[in-house]
Amino acid sequence: MNRYWKWLVAVIAVLASGCDERKSADSVTWQEGKLRVVATTTMLADLCRVVGGDAVQVVGLMGPEQDPHSYVSRVGDAKLLADAQVIVANGLRLEGKLVERLSEKKQSSKQILIVGDQLPSDLLLAPQEEFEGTKDPHVWGDVALWKQATDLVAAAFSQAMPEQKSVFIERAKQYNGELSTLDAWIRTEVAQVPEAKRVLVTGHDAFFYFGKAYGFQVRGVRGVSSAVESDLRQNQELATFIRERGIRTIFAESTVNGKEVNAVAERSGAVVSAENLYSDALGKDGDVATYLGMMRHNVKAIVEGLK
């Protein structure tokens, strides 16, 4: 290897160490003096970065466009979780059994925030079908609930790093202002879709919070967990529903295999939107790599497809 290449590799290594994407836990270098935070989903990792700013280092367990329902722990996850000072998870069985195992290992020195357990239970939706005895985990679909998640993250960070409390609270307040703007924008956009056409058919049951908040009837090709495939009878029944309601566009999701959505579209005569919806994970690059951008992308695609 010549000197140039050695230099380039060294630069890339330095850049990569400042980046929270990881191949394995071994590649995570915790930075001195920062609060060590591990978040399970990409939405939560984004929220933690926004609220924590420079005071925290956030590592996401799951990568972009990775389906949390079928997340399989990787080598090094245990060490990462052990090293974290704050762990932020969605809960409500979104991450399978991961969170249950976390709770078993609860130590007083570590903050474990399970967002779904802390949100007011009367705001949580019952899933369409029985789902492991819990409520519907897709809480981020309702921006108002995500604002509450923002406050929960700020509180957990403040407990773990009290000297930065005012910073976390202020950053959360600012971000909640942006979320309020987003919420108002969604309502304006959605108003372009006539009420009778507000029927959202997607890859799996991820959009019920969104539907309740913004006035859509929602049907998923798969159920609450994208890991369980739909059967022929369910697809036929959904196709009949789509035909009867005169729905022209249905939506695939970036984290769910689209073959069943395509099959339902074929049976029903609807088309599949050219834009995938981001349901359970953020995108890799560009706008959809943040929660704000993901929501805007989804709303634009939905409004364009249904209006």
206 belongs to the binding site for Zn ion (CB under 5 A): yes
**Is the Cβ–Cβ distance between 58 and 45 less than 8 Å?**
yes
Which of 69/171 has CB closer to Zn ion? 69
Interface with Zn ion by CB under 5 A: which range of 120-128, 169-177, 280-288, 295-303? 280-288
Which of 35/61 has CB closer to Zn ion? 61
Interface with Zn ion by CB under 5 A: which range of 103-111, 168-176, 273-281, 295-303? 273-281
Nearest approach in angstroms of CB 4 to Zn ion is 46
Which of 140/214 has CB closer to Zn ion? 140
Which of 175/207 has CB closer to Zn ion? 207
**Is the Cβ–Cβ distance between 238 and 221 less than 8 Å?**
yes
Helix (H) or strand (E) holding 12: helix 3-17
Interface with Zn ion by CB under 5 A: which range of 144-152, 204-212, 245-253, 281-289? 204-212
What six digits make up the tokens of 104?
């078993």
Residue closest to 52 by CA, chosen among 179, 171, 176, 174: 171
252 belongs to the binding site for Zn ion (CB under 5 A): no
Nearest approach in angstroms of CB 136 to Zn ion is 9
Nearest approach in angstroms of CB 259 to Zn ion is 17
**Is the Cβ–Cβ distance between 67 and 226 less than 8 Å?**
yes
Interface with Zn ion by CB under 5 A: which range of 21-29, 98-106, 233-241, 272-280? 272-280
| Spatial CB neighbours of 116, under 8 Å, sequence gap ≥ 6 | 90, 91, 92, 94, 124, 134, 135, 137, 139
Residue 38's DSSP bridge partners are 59, 87
Location of structure tokens 């930065």: 164
Tell me the DSSP string of 108-128. Answer: TTSEEEEHHHHS-GGGSPPPS
How far apart are the C-alpha atoms of 103 and 9, rounded to whole Å? 40
Nearest approach in angstroms of CB 127 to Zn ion is 10
253 belongs to the binding site for Zn ion (CB under 5 A): no
Among 61, 280, 292, 305, binds Zn ion (CB under 5 A): 280
Nearest approach in angstroms of CB 255 to Zn ion is 8
- Size of the residue set binding Zn ion (CB under 5 A): 2
Q: Give the footprint of Zn ion on this chain (CB under 5 A).
A: 206, 280
